[in-house]
Structure 1
Amino acid sequence: MKAIYTSLLTLLTLAGWAQTHISGKVTDTKGISIPGANVYLKGTYDGASSDVDGQFSFTSDEKGKQTLVVQAIGYKSSEENVDLEGSNLVVKSTLQETINLLKAVTITAGAMEAGDEKKSVVLKPIDILTTSGAMGDITGAFQTLPGTATVGNDGRLFVRGGDASETSIYMDGLQVGNAFGTSASNVPTRTRFSPNLFKGSFFSTGGYSAEFGQALSSTLALNSLDMPLRNQGDISVLSVGGGYTHTLVGKQNALTASANYVNLAPYQRIVKQNFDWEKAPENWDTEIALKQKWGKAGFVKAYFHTEGNNMVIWQKVPGQEGRGRRVGINNQYSYGNVSFRQAGKHDWFFSGGLAYSYNRDKINLDDLPVRQLNQVVHGKMVVIKDFSPQFSLKNGLEYFGKTYSEALPDEGKQRNMADHQFNHFVETSYYFNNNLVAVAGLRTGYSMLAKQIWVTPRFSVAYKMNEGQVSLAAGKFKQLPEEKLRILDNNLKNAGSDHYILNYFFANNNRTFRAESFYKIYDNLITYTGATSAPQNIGQLGSGYARGFDFFYRDRQTVKKTDFWVTYSFVDSRRRFANYETRVQPSFAPKHNGSLVVKHFIGKLKSQLGSSWSWNSGYTYTNPNEPGEMQSKTSMYSNLSLSWSYLPKPNVILHVACSNVLGRENVFGYQYASTPNESGAFVSQPVGQGAKRFAVVALFITLSKDKAANQLNNL
């Protein structure tokens, strides 16, 4: 019996000696302990969890070569080969952080998202349409964002001291030529497209991606809707016109077709105008949008838009009697694009498309007919490869074909210009961890007409700290002069700008705060002598800068059922350009700009009340009665607008809006006679608004199977 007990004791002792004691510590790449990590031998139940100091310890009866697995939430799993020989084994495991794109830092320097897919959401499409004073115009709503300036006698986007021509607009990644309607001098224009087409937009106030080019100041990239929700018909009845949209939705495709008509003549006969209209603006447009799912991971979109515009206006000439100059405009415009996106195997992604813009203007200046034709073709192919959760590479090729012609039919004169541009861009994103990302890009281009090659590097980095983050961006940007100048001198080269941006962004609990400082340096700007309408001695001797800062705060939490945002921008811009002989503050770059937008929903009244107030410190202008250039400034600009949306039924909406409700006489500058009068003074006249106020009443009715769908996105 004693021998049996001795044998059992010996076996148990040997078994204890055969076990391996495994211990160690789990840390991240910075040496910080990771508690709660799961450590185990692959294919066994032997393991333990790390304590608050990252320490772990367990024993195993396994022998020989094994695989030790270490896992922790938020980190990449680690596997290490170990050799178990019945002794102590000390292991030190280092885990790398997993990149979670939903939580990872994003670049916000110079960028403002207006879609649902990014964290840095500033405006959604419905925000654009419900902003009082914008009157459903995309640029009208974006003029309430920081970095923009309201230029009431133009209507286009002016960003951080830059001219409107320095902003480029894209739809589904493809450039939109002539995105704004043709208008007479000092008569504001609008974008040609309804915000209802888009699911979101990316508005860059500078330092934008290498994917985009030929814009010295900013880009506005609009992304159209994918699949509509249901079959429905939408009727719009407005005080200035009306329209109808019909949508058909299948399992794999959808079709939307619409037609609209606007005529301001009845309205302008009722509301006194400061403009002398012979024929008030009249516009019609039609469009078709097709959506098609392609396989399991592809999507194709096709869009076509065509429209016609007519107007005749008399514009008084300073120092002359009578109605002045008669300007008649007949515009025909078409735009179409086809775009696709396709997710491939092994983290490959493909996108691209083809777009075409056609813009024809028949202009009559008194008895002189002028004809202008502008066409733009844009082709693009982009390939993205995610080599790992940390590293992504974007590669793309582009082609632009641009033609422009102008003619004097009565005199038998015509001149033409054509250019072919080729571009390549490459951009890489690298996530060091969830808190630090860097993006580097390089864009190259070649113009056959200018015979010029250019290279523009760009870089940005963002670091996340708690709820906020800091971003830096820098880069070079090039843009060829407008076709109206290139047709006079085919040898004109690119103008250039260098961007430097520092940004702080915070978003939490339905509150968003954004602060940004910037500095832009301009070179090779167009200069000439003589009048803008007939430039002479065209060169590229201009230069300048724009510097400043802006703030944006949006709050949907503090006041119940209320959404509001506040912006302020300071811009110090000086440039020598056009026919100025010195560096001046441009008329389109007021130093101080601000806005306040408020929207409040009253449930009992089934109503949303909206208001917006925009202001700036005034516009510079040259007074020839005083020495110097751009030495004078208008009074402060101010515009308070109100709106009311009422839902008497789920599918019926009544919308009323009025701009400049206080009737303020805003002046955007002064025009002067070309020669002095008998007293030696140059006579002037103010450049102001078409009317003190503009009001619109609209009724939206939706026809659908459930009778509950409506056009809230149209408000």
Structure 2
Amino acid sequence: MRTFLIFTLLFFLSWSSKAQFIVAGKIVNKNGNIISGASVYLKGSYDGTSSIADGTFAFKTTKEGKQVITIQSVGFKSIEQIIELTTDILQPIYVLYEDEKTLETVSIVAGSFDASDERKAVALKPMDIVTTASASGDIYGALSTLPGTQTVGETGKLFVRGGDDYEARTFIDGLQVESPYQQRLEGIPTKGRFSPMLFSGTFFSTGGYSAEYGQALSSVVLLKTDGAPASDKLNINLYSLGLGIAGTKKLKKSTYVAAFDYSNLGPYFKIVPQNTTWVKAPQTSSGSLNVINHIGSGLSKTLFSYNDDRSALDYPYYGYSKPNVLLALDNKNIFIKNSFQTNLSNGTMLKTGIGFSLDRNDLSLDSLIINDKFISGQIKVALVTRVLQQISLNYGGDLLLKNFDENIKIMEVQQKLGFNDFQSAFFTEAEYNLSSKLVFRVGVRVENSIIKDNFRLMPRMSAAYRISDHGQFSAAYGIFYQNPQTQYLKFTNELNAERADHFILNYQYKVKDRLFRIELFYKDYKNLITYSVPDIPDPANYANNGYGYAKGLDAFYRDSQSIKNGDFWISYSYLDTKKLYRDYLLYTTPKFFSKHNFNLVYKQWITELKSFIGISYTYAAGRPYYDANKPANLFLSDKTTPYHNLSVNYSYDLSSLTKIPVTFYFSVSNVFGNNNVYGYNNTFNSTSNKYDLIPVTPQANRFYLAALFISL
């Protein structure tokens, strides 16, 4: 850490004694939409920088006279322009045009998907995620249609390449989000806490990701808040489940974006019967405030988010003296973050971030009461600089503090559990463009945690080679660690971090708006948590004796060119995975995973009818389940029936009737009402002296959503 601070200080102090000129501007595409992350430099020198979130850039140089400024961004034609450095150059706008040979500059894509094409997102505005029929406006629902993911409908969370849901971590503007999902009672599917309207882009990595990110065994979801909302606006959304309001106000150097949403599933459940007896149907109140400030040549983005989730149901406590007991949950979550990005005088980009989150749960099950509180805070600093014209360096560090407290009360008996953790990390990563055909990225991440107090070294390597104007190969390798989950650390601090080693080989072919990619992967698990009996406060019950693997193939094809005003993608995943972890009796395939997963997503804009139609179809092969009536050597040997889900959504523009922008939206999932079964729970029947198999099913065969989106 001392070395890191010295390097940072040197960069701040590296001012030249020679005369300096400022070169500044803004980079957009032909439609005026901002382009962030574009490379800007003076040809034949190391002076340059990258455009930040609002498309602007600025750097200082000691060069004089006629110079050539070069601007490059993947997917666009590079431009070169002669400038005269006798004074500061404050060119207002540089326009980049799309390059039909989109892979002319090679880029590393192994393990990654750009799940929200920003150029299309601008056209769709806040409707980007909503247009995926099966997603119902949920970020994670839309990501689940991409290869590498699994259909685990009973949770609603993201499962990636043989990894449990906790192995996929979410980051907002580079800062870790401890609780990205709404809190739900056991067996009730959840969704993401954050509206897709908050973000300008979503980057989804299924493995082999950058050394900048840690504490994720399988995957990272990187959400990028909007740095440049277009104009003042007010949106009112009326749902069949509730209502929402969002507004944007732009001032000279700052922008304020506020939103509030309220949903109550009670009235909906009265119309559409559920498989659960609800005492209080899920109610959610949420609000957010995003403040964007231009400070000098930098951009500051502050996000405040609040969620309040409440629900209660009659829980079928099989084998208990009562047929049903009251299960209730009250969850409150606060997330606050600030990120700042600016260009320093020597062309180095400085990125800083600070985040805070509070998650509080009050759970009651008959006479059992559990109150827990999880607090986390993070500070992060990263710098991106051009060492040579072909080499860029990304390095920095972060500090993460966690505190968990839990109070358990059963009648008059009380117990307190909890833990504290302090994590520090340093990363450095260099990308070397050897030529227009070959690029390497080599990095390392070092982490330390006061839990077990040991250092962890994680190398990350990747490369890409362009074999034609439209095709390229990519490969990636990395070691990834993740600390044990809260449910284990509250009982013992003697556990080591779990580990996964990633190996990825990728081929991608892209022509205009057609993309095909296929990827082979292998993941080797070590130090997985094992225990004999779940949820008991005995440290000796828990160990790092687990292991496993996941291997397979992911294929993806997207085409938004062949059909006029149409867009579709097809994804397929083959997964072979086994683990010995948790309280598993054998080394076997976990119950969440199926060998074959297939998704078809189709979207059609019908301009003559002012309508949009979306169709999504998902197939998943049967998942393993355990029949406790069978011997232990047949643990998880049975399979459920395959999963089928055809979902449809429809939108109609009512603006010509209402004289203001109004859109009607309707969606329905599982149109054909398939009786999907996710698995089975075992319940002992004292009368038959055998275990009854209780199917785990959706709360209802279909889910309906209707809405009016009003813009003022």
Q: TM-score range by the shorter chain?
A: 0.7 to 0.9
Partner of 1:182: 183
Deviations along 1:228-276, one digit per CA (max 9) or x if unpaired, are 1111111111111001111101232100111111000000011110111
Normalising by structure 1, report the TM-score.
0.82
Indicate the residue corresponding to 2:31 in structure 1: none
- 8 Å CA contact 2:625–2:680 kept in 1: the answer is yes
Task: Give distance in 1, aligned partners of 2:231 and 2:130.
Answer: 21
Measure the CA separation in 2 of the matches of 1:549 and 1:236: 40
Q: How many residues align?
A: 606
More deviation in 359-368 or 680-689? 680-689
Q: CA deviation at 1:389?
A: 2.6
Give matches, 1:235-274, under 5 Å. 235-274=236-275
> Equivalent residue for 1:641?
647
State the alpha-carbon separation in 2 of the partners of residues 629 and 189 from structure 1.
Answer: 28
How many angstroms does 1:74 deviate by?
Answer: 9.5
* Residue 160 of structure 1 pairs with residue 156 of structure 2: no
The offset of 1:126, in angstroms, is: 4.4
Instruction: Using the TM superposition, give the Cα deviation of residue 75 of structure 1 relative to its aligned residue in structure 2, in angstroms.
Output: 13
Pairing 1:437-456 to 2, within 5 Å after superposition = 437-456=439-458
The answer (yes or no) to whether the contact 2:116–2:128 under 8 Å persists in 1 is: no
* Pairwise CA distance, 1:501: 0.2
Given that 1:619 and 1:668 are in contact with CA atoms closer than 8 Å, whether structure 2 keeps it comes out as yes
In the TM superposition, what is the alpha-carbon distance from 1:117 to its structure 2 partner?
6.4
Structure 1 position 625, deviation (Å): 1.1
SS of residue matched to 2:388: coil
| Paired letter, 1:661 | V
Q: Give the 3 Å change call, closer, same or farther, for CA 101–238 of structure 1 in structure 2.
A: closer
Q: 1:74 to 1:606 in 2, by over 3 A?
A: closer
Equivalent residue in structure 2 for 1:652, among 662, 669, 673: 662
Q: 1:666 aligns with which of 653, 659, 676?
A: 676
Whether contact under 8 Å (1:319, 1:683) holds in the other structure is: no
d(CA) in 2 for partners of 1:452 and 1:288? 39
Q: Aligned equivalents of 1:449 and 1:547: distance in 2? A: 31
Per the alignment, residue 619 of structure 1 pairs with: 623
Answer yes or no: is the 8 Å Cα contact 1:600–1:609 preserved in 2.
Answer: yes
Partner residue, 2:210: 209
Q: How many Å separate the matches in 1 of 2:126 and 2:505? A: 27
Unpaired segments ≥5 residues, structure 2? 1-76, 81-100
Which residue in 2 is equivalent to 1:411? 413
- Per the alignment, residue 462 of structure 2 pairs with 460
Which one-letter code corresponds to 1:494 in the other structure?
A
Give yes or no for the alignment of 1:685 onto 2:687. Answer: no
Question: How big is each residue's C-alpha offset from its partner over 1:501-534, in whole Å with a ceiling of 9 and x where there is no partner?
Answer: 0001111121111100000000000000123577
For each residue in 1:287-344, what CA deviation from the matched residue of structure 2 results, as whole angstroms up to 9, or x when unmatched?
Answer: 111001121x310000001121110012223456864332100001100000010112
Distance 1:530 1:571 in 2: 29
Instruction: State the 1:413 CA deviation.
Output: 2.3
* 5+ long unaligned stretches in structure 1: 1-72, 77-99, 704-715
Instruction: State the alpha-carbon separation in 2 of the partners of residues 243 and 124 from structure 1.
Output: 16
Tell me how far apart the structure 1 counterparts of residues 414 and 162 of structure 2 sit (CA, whole Å): 40
Deviations 1:131-180 (A, max 9, x none): 00210000000000000001000011100000000011000000111111
Give the structure 2 partner of residue 373 of structure 1.
373
CA contact (8 A) 2:524 2:550 kept: yes
Deviation at 1:115, TM superposition (A): 4.7
Contact 2:118 2:200 in 1 (8 A): no
TM-score (norm 2): 0.82
Q: Tell me, in whole angstroms, the C-alpha distance in 2 between the residues paired with 1:286 and 1:320.
A: 40
Partner residue of 2:24? none
1:519 aligned to which of 522, 537, 544? 522
| Structure 2 counterpart of 1:575 | 579
> Contact (CA 8 Å) 2:491, 2:537: kept in 1 or not?
no
Correspondence 1:591 to 2:595? yes
2: CA distance between counterparts of 1:272 and 1:203?
35
Per-residue deviation at 1:405? 1.2
CA distance in structure 2 between the partners assigned to 1:666 and 1:608 by the alignment: 28
Tell me if the contact between 2:418 and 2:489 (Cα under 8 Å) persists in the aligned partners.
no
Residue identity in the other structure for 2:369: P
| Cα distance between partner residues in 1 of 2:688 and 2:117 | 62
4+ residue segments displaced more than 6 Å: 73-76, 533-536
Q: CA deviation at 1:103?
A: 3.9
Alpha-carbon displacement from aligned partner over 1:422-469 (angstroms, at most 9, x marks no partner): 000010000001110000010001111221110000100000122011
Partner of 1:552: 556
The equivalent of 1:494 in structure 2 is 497
**Distance apart, 1:411 and its partner CA:** 2.9
Q: Is the 8 A contact 2:571 2:598 kept in 1?
A: yes
Counterpart Cα distance in 1 of 2:78 and 2:309: 57
Cα deviation, 1:583-627, whole Å, max 9, x if unaligned, reads 110111111111001111112210001110111002211111112
Separation in structure 2 between the aligned mates of residue 124 and residue 572 of structure 1, nearest angstrom? 38
Cα contact 1:144–1:567 (8 A) shared by 2: yes
Matches within 5 A, 1:375-390: 375-390=375-390
Contact 1:153/1:688 (8 A) holds in 2? yes
**C-alpha distance in 2, partners of 1:479/1:413?**
28
SS of aligned partner of 1:485: helix
Whether the aligned pair in 2 keeps the contact of 1:526 and 1:538 (CA below 8 Å) is yes
Counterpart secondary structure, 2:525: strand
Q: Which residues of 2 match residues 292-331 of structure 1 at below 5 A?
A: 292-295=293-296, 297-318=297-318, 323-331=323-331
Q: CA RMSD in A?
A: 2.3
- Superposition pairs of residues 35-114 of structure 1, within 5 angstroms: 103-114=104-115
**What are the superposed Cα offsets for residues 538-578 of structure 1, whole Å, 9 maximum, x if unpaired?**
11100000000010101111122211110000010100010
CA contact (8 A) 2:115 2:143 kept: no
- CA distance in 2 between partners of 1:109 and 1:118 (Å): 22
Q: 2-side partners of 1:170 and 1:268: how far apart?
A: 33
Q: 1:504 to 1:127 in 2, by over 3 A?
A: farther
In 2, Cα distance between equivalents of 1:623 and 1:532: 22
The 1-side partners of 2:668 and 2:708 are apart by 15
* Equivalent position amino acid for 2:534 in 1: A
| Partner AA of 1:448 in structure 2 | I
SS state at 1:196 partner: helix
Deviation at 1:369, TM superposition (A): 1.0
Counterpart for residue 531 of structure 1: 534
Aligned position for 1:7? none
**1:171, 1:224 within 8 Å by CA — same for their partners in 2?**
yes
Q: Distance in 2 between matches of 1:337 and 1:136?
A: 23
Cα distance, 1:74–1:702 mapped onto 2, change above 3 Å: closer
Q: Which amino acid aligns with 1:370?
A: I
Q: How far apart are residue 477 of structure 1 and its match?
A: 0.5
Residue 290 of structure 1 corresponds to which residue in structure 2?
291
| Partner amino acid, structure 2, of 1:302 | T
The structural deviation recorded for 1:667 is 0.7
Quick one: distance in 2 between partners of 1:558 and 1:602?
15
- After superposition, the Cα gap between the structure-2 partners of 1:291 and 1:234, relative to the gap in structure 1 and judged at 3 Å, is same
Give the Cα separation in 1 of the matches to 2:535 and 2:678. Answer: 18
